[in-house]
Amino acid sequence: MPLRVLATRNIAGANLIQMLSVAGMFAMFFLGSLYLRLVLGYSPLRLGLAFLPVTITMGTLSVRYTERISARFGPRVTLIAGLGLIMSALVLFAQVPAGGGYASHILPVMVLMGTGAGLAFPALMTVAMTGATPADAGLASGLVNTTAQVGGALGLAVLATVSAGRTSTLAARGQNPSAALTGGYHLAFWIAAGLVAAAIAVAAATLRTPPTGLEVSGTAKVET
- Residue 144 CA to residue 209 CA, distance in Å, equals 18
Model confidence at 207, in pLDDT bands (50, 70, 90)? confident
The rounded distance, in Å, linking the Cα atoms of 40 and 43 is 9
**DSSP 8-state class, residue 134:** G
Helices and strands per DSSP (H, E), number in the chain: 9, 0
**pLDDT at position 7, please?**
66
DSSP 175: -
More confident residue, 144 or 99: 99
- Per-residue pLDDT of 21-30, as tens digits, reads 999 988 789 9
Measured between alpha carbons, how far is 74 from 125 in angstroms, rounded to an integer? 13
H or E segment to which residue 60 belongs: helix 52-60
pLDDT for 212 equals 45
Instruction: Judge contact between 9 and 131, C-beta under 8 A.
Output: yes
Report, as an integer, the average pLDDT of 63-81. 92
What contacts 168, CB < 8 A, 6 or more positions away? 180, 184
7-207: in CATH 1.10.10.10: no
- What size, in residues, is the chain? 224
The more confident residue out of 165 and 144 is 165
The whole-model pTM stands at: 0.88
Long-range CB contacts (within 8 A, 24+) of 103-109: 106/36, 106/50, 107/53, 109/28, 109/32
Would you kindly state where each structural domain of the chain is located, as residue ranges?
A: 7-207
Q: What is the dihedral of CA 61, 64, 66, 71, to 10 degrees?
A: -170
Q: Give the closest residue to 59 by CA, choosing from 128, 22, 113, 126.
A: 113
